Amino acid sequence: MNDPNYHPMISRLREILMVDLPSDAIVAGGCLRDCILGGIPKDVDVFVGPGMNVPAWAQAHGGNCWAVCGAATEYDMGLQASVAQVFDTNLRVGDDGLTTDRDGPEIQFIQMKRPTSVEEQFARFDFDFCKLALLQDGSFKADPTAYPALRQKVARWTLEEGDVRRTGSVDRVIRWLQRPMFRSWRFVMGNKVFVYHPSKNFALLKGAAEPPERAQ
């Protein structure tokens, strides 16, 4: 696994956070996970508070942004409507910083109705191996469950049974298993275990035994 303190993409994100974004901004989720695992992230999720003018920020950096219709509702399912708006941009993180070229992951903003802590953001995520964050002061944070998941290639669903986001979580697992970097992984959701199957892209192991408990 890659060290987040020395990964070139994470270093560029750290510079953007510290120089160009407000103090409550947090980069979190799959982008950091993919960097640590040696993959190529598709996008960067930046969580910001209500005070940031996202369209003005995008324009000041030579890009554009647009509100994603319905995305705030999707992010907010079961979360008491804490997301105000989701913005896609045409800005990417390139080798030399922000760019509108095609290379590099796209930046997406999730604007909250109030500033939120990194712990609150981790509680929102549905799988433990996504609970990674880069803060505006440049520090890197990981939930205690994240690195054991990354080392053992076993991701666990962390929401409550009956959570309305479960269907969306299953869809995400199927997409993950279609990526080569996750084909040796197990995704555990309660008593169900999803693994890659070459003829089906994924397989559900019914009644499969739980993977070994992770080392603390």
Whether 91 and 135 share a structural domain: yes
| pLDDT tens readout for residues 129-162 | 999 999 999 999 999 999 999 999 999 999 888 7
| pLDDT tens readout for residues 1-48 | 999 999 999 999 999 999 999 999 999 999 999 999 999 899 999 999
Whether 180 and 117 share a structural domain: no
Per the structure, the count of domains in the chain is: 2
In the predicted model, is pLDDT for residue 64 greater than 90? yes
Domain C-terminal end among 119, 142, 165: 142
Domain carrying residue 122? 8-142
Are 93 and 31 spatial neighbours (Cβ–Cβ below 8 Å)? no
Give the per-residue pLDDT at 15: 94
For residues 101 and 150, give the distance between their C-alpha atoms in angstroms, rounded to a whole number: 31
In the predicted model, is pLDDT for residue 209 greater than 60? no
Are 190 and 161 spatial neighbours (Cβ–Cβ below 8 Å)? yes
Residue with tokens 């992010």: 75
For residues 179 and 110, give the distance between their C-alpha atoms in angstroms, rounded to a whole number: 25
In the predicted model, is pLDDT for residue 213 greater than 50? no
- What rounded mean pLDDT belongs to the chain? 87
Domain C-terminal end among 112, 142, 172: 142
Give the per-residue pLDDT at 10: 95
Q: How many CB atoms lie within 10 A of CB 81?
A: 11
| Secondary structure E strands in 34-160 | 43-48, 65-67, 83-94, 97-99, 106-112, 132-135, 140-142, 154-156
* Parallel/antiparallel/unpaired status of strands 186-189 and 132-135: unpaired
Whether 65 and 170 share a structural domain: no
Please check whether residue 40 lies inside any domain of the structure.
yes
pTM over 0.95: no
Give the per-residue pLDDT at 75: 61
Give the per-residue pLDDT at 32: 97
Whether 55 and 111 share a structural domain: yes
Question: How distant is the alpha carbon of residue 75 from its chain centre?
Answer: 12
Whether 86 and 122 share a structural domain: yes
Please check whether residue 210 lies inside any domain of the structure.
no
Domain C-terminal end among 142, 164, 194: 142
Whether 20 and 88 share a structural domain: yes
Whether 40 and 88 share a structural domain: yes
In the predicted model, is pLDDT for residue 76 greater than 70? no
Residue type, 156: R
Whether 134 and 160 share a structural domain: no
Q: Which residues have CB under 8 Å from 201's CB, separation 6+?
A: 174, 177, 178
Give the per-residue pLDDT at 71: 59
